[in-house]
Amino acid sequence: MTRVKRGTTALKARRNTLAQVKGYRFGRSKKEAQANDAISHAGAYAFAHRRDKKNVFRQLWTVKINAGLRPLGFSYSKFIGALKKNKIIIDRKILANLAEFNPETFANIVSEVK
């Protein structure tokens, strides 16, 4: 049987790994073992933070809606409860956008709920 040299395959894998960690600092961008570790951690954090991002945006929408409601004499919780009671189906993302960029339209929705 002939001898098989695997240098090119190993080199290709190493280059691929180091290309993925381009821009990382210190040994994580130069050393293969640290680079592999950095890639696995980055993937785990990316997965977790894609979930966290949804919570962060919902909190932001809540704050924006509440800020738009306070001058109109409403609180966030009472407003959401009144929306559900009146069967008005507008999601929080749209409401936050209206409260921030179209306050007159938002005021119309609030008056409709009152």
Residues 7-113, CATH architecture: Orthogonal Bundle (1.10)
The band of 49, judged by pLDDT with boundaries at 50, 70 and 90, is: very high
pLDDT average, residue stretch 45-60 = 97
Burial of 34 (0-12, 13-18, 19+ CB in 10 A): middle
**C-alpha span between 39 and 53 (Å, rounded):** 20
- Confidence (pTM): 0.74
Element housing 33 (H / E):
helix 32-69
The band of 113, judged by pLDDT with boundaries at 50, 70 and 90, is: very high
What pLDDT is recorded for position 102? 97
Locate the domains of the chain by residue range.
Answer: 7-113
Query: Do residues 113 and 82 make contact, with C-beta atoms less than 8 angstroms apart?
Result: yes
What pLDDT is recorded for position 6? 76
What pLDDT is recorded for position 114? 85
Average pLDDT in the chain: 95
What pLDDT is recorded for position 25? 96
The band of 12, judged by pLDDT with boundaries at 50, 70 and 90, is: very high
